[in-house]
Amino acid sequence: MNSHRRNEQQVVWTVVGTDLGPLLLAATPHGLVNVVFHASDAVRDKALDRLGSRLGGEPVEAPGSPLLAEAIRQLEAYFAGERRDFDLLLDWSLVSGFNRQVLRELDSGVPFGSVVAYGDLAGRVGQPGAAQAVGVAMGSNPLPVVVPCHRVVESDGGIGGFGGGLETKRKLLALEGVLPEPLF
């Protein structure tokens, strides 16, 4: 085996249907590594190219993989309103530095049904005044839904931005009881 091959990680993926539309899930032997909203063919292909270049090797479609099974089960239960917390191995290799620190704090410190302001989250990681940097970290989140960046909002009560689109953020916050269900 050459040295290039040893540095490659096995990446398996599948697309699952949800009330939010198709989600691409990708995992390595270290855990769930990527969740991608609106996984149309074009979005899926772009995400897989990015994963391949970042982690090495060609991601393999494997909907029955044991590496994905628990993530699929827990996400289905979450969207069915039967699960509030995720208990999954996460592979953090797509994010580093400040962004990883912020996302890990978000993952462990902002429970289902609650929200936190960008600035408050910055303060929790010892960087008061870094609200914009927290926004950048949310935009770089490779594990949305599971690492709940939808729970980060503006301090003035605004919903803030969201990589999956504002309608998706509203639906996730409604699922968690933070916002009322849309009327139509």
Residues labelled catalytic: 149
- The phi-psi region of residue 56 (left if phi > 0; otherwise alpha if psi is between -120 and 50; otherwise beta) is left
Cβ neighbours, 10 Å, residue 142: 24
Cβ neighbours, 10 Å, residue 54: 14
C-alpha span between 13 and 128 (Å, rounded) = 37
Sequence-ordered alpha helix ranges (H) in the chain: 3-7, 41-55, 66-79, 97-109, 118-124, 131-139, 166-175
Token pair in block for residue 38: 């609106």
